[in-house]
Structure 1
Amino acid sequence: MQDSADIDIDQMDYRLLRELTRDGRASDVALSERVHLSSTAVGRRRKLLEDRGMVQGYSADLSLSRLGFGTTVIVAIELSSQAEHVLNEFEQAVSQCPSMSFCSFVSGDTDFIMMVHVKSFEHYDSVYRKELSTLPHVAKIRSSFVMRKVLDRKVPAAVLAVQP
């Protein structure tokens, strides 16, 4: 795949990307009306954006709260070491945790930040005991419960506000 710095996209591509982030299921005809371009040109541009890796896929945005998982917990993990084998073993184990929806290796005072979705505080206690506390090389676990979601963008507005 090409480095994104090597890919030229124009204002029309940005307009199309903005519309796709609003509605990834939109047909080429519907998109063409929104961006004022023929549906054939929209289809060609969409395919090119997909082929270049600018659009990585389409998915359903599920309501976790309506599915019973209304509590979000941000978990910070410190490991006992940052040796490569320790990082690899931890990352492999995290990928097997069914309650995890997000995990990233980060800089700063902690090593990994995770997001866990649970039904309740009691459910989180179970996840903590059965998943988090069994992860290899963990020195410290800090949990923060999300009180209220203020913003949840899939793509920061600034990314699509860029005009070439």
Structure 2
Amino acid sequence: MHETENNLVDPTDYRLLRELIRDGRASDVMLGERIHLSSTATARRRKILEENGVVAGYTAKLNMAKLGFSITAMVSIELSSQAEHVLNEFESAVILCPSMSFCSFVSGEVDFIMIVHVRSFEDYDRVYRRELSMLPHVARIRSSFLMREVAQRSVAPAAVNDQR
């Protein structure tokens, strides 16, 4: 993030971000070659992007099916109330659910959307009974099972395309 009129990420930073999305493990030398900068300049830009929170971290993408989790459920949860203490209690409890990989407070007809990975439908029944239904203030749980993954991105391409 470089000092410009609004502290915006510049076009070179966007090129670096696109390459980091493609390969977060690439060396600064390799990244520099791809974006036409020296490795020193690339390392400096990467460090600034990390320090400013634009790059929030690096992670490995796991193949859940190869780990035995062949079923993914999208779970919609409606709470009995939207009072602040109810939301806080639910959020504190859901963080402890070992089968949940994603949870977000959403607008619309439901309050939260979760993603749950399980080994089988019997395993989902266990998760439903021992984890989801035990969460505080739950009024309704609706589950949809993902049939086929069409696309998965960590970031939408539009987010890292410099529009200036």
Fold match by TM threshold 0.5:
yes
Q: Give % identity.
A: 67
Q: Which residue of 2 aligns with 1:149?
A: 149
- Structure 1 gaps of 5+ residues are none
TM-score, normalisation: structure 1: 0.95
Q: Which residue of 1 aligns with 2:72?
A: 72
Q: Does 1:136 align with 2:126?
A: no
Q: Does 1:163 align with 2:137?
A: no
Q: Distance in 2 between matches of 1:82 and 1:111?
A: 8
Ranges of 4+ aligned residues in structure 1 off by more than 2 Å = none
- Structure 2 gaps of 5+ residues are none
Shift of 1:163: 3.2
TM-score, normalisation: structure 2: 0.95
Q: Distance in 1 between matches of 2:158 and 2:78?
A: 31
Asked if structure 2 preserves the Cα contact closer than 8 Å seen for 1:94 and 1:135, the reply is yes
Asked if structure 2 preserves the Cα contact closer than 8 Å seen for 1:90 and 1:137, the reply is yes
Q: Which residue of 1 aligns with 2:14?
A: 14
Q: Which residue of 1 aligns with 2:33?
A: 33
Q: Distance in 2 between matches of 1:152 and 1:9?
A: 25
Q: Does 1:107 align with 2:107?
A: yes
Shift of 1:9: 1.3
C-alpha distance after superposition, 1:27-57 (max 9, x if no partner): 0000011111111110110011111110011
Partner secondary structure for residue 49 of structure 1: helix
Partner secondary structure for residue 131 of structure 1: helix
Q: Does 1:93 align with 2:106?
A: no
C-alpha distance after superposition, 1:53-108 (max 9, x if no partner): 10011111111111111211000000111111111111111011000000011111
Q: Distance in 2 between matches of 1:70 and 1:157?
A: 28
Which residue type is aligned with residue 38 of structure 2? S
Relative distance call for 1:44 and 1:72 in structure 2 (3 A) is: same
Aligned length: 160
Q: Distance in 2 between matches of 1:163 and 1:32?
A: 22
